Amino acid sequence: MKINQTLFGKTKNGEEAYLYTLTNQNGMEVSFTNYGACIVSIIVPDAKGEKADVALGFKNIEGYEENEPGFGAFIGRYANRISDGKIEINGKVYELEKNDGENTLHGGVKGYNNFLYETEVFRDEDMISIEFSRLSPHMEQGFPGNLDITVTYSLTQTNELMIEYHAVSDKDTVINLTNHCYFNLAGHNSGTILDHNLMIKANKFTPTREDLIPTGEIWDVEGTPMDFRTLKRIGQDINADYEPLRIADGYDHNYVLDINGTDVEKVAELVEENSQRVMEVFTDLPGMQLYTANMLTPVKNSKDDAIYKKQDAICFETQFFPNSCNTSNFSSSLLKAGQPFESVTIYKFSTK
Helical segments of the chain, H only: 61-66, 243-248
CA angle 152, 253, 306 (to 5 degrees): 65
Q: What are the residues facing 92 on neighbouring strands?
A: 89
DSSP 195: T
Q: Could you count the other beta carbons within 10 Å of the beta carbon of residue 246?
A: 12
DSSP labels, 150-176:
EEEEEEETTSEEEEEEEEEESS-EE-B
**CB-based contacts of 319, cutoff 8 Å, min separation 6:** 79, 80, 176, 178, 254, 285, 287, 288, 289
Active-site residue, selected from the candidate residues 97, 131, 140, 317: 317
Is residue 180 flagged as an active site residue?
yes
C-alpha R_g of the chain? 19
Cα(191)–Cα(193) distance, integer angstroms: 7
Q: Coil, strand, or helix at residue 45? A: strand
**Closest to 186 in 3D by CA, of 307, 60, 32, 351:** 351
Active-site residue, selected from the candidate residues 106, 180, 188, 196: 180
Q: Coil, strand, or helix at residue 343? A: strand
CA angle 303, 159, 152 (to 5 degrees): 75
Instruction: Indicate which residues carry an active-site annotation.
Output: 180, 317
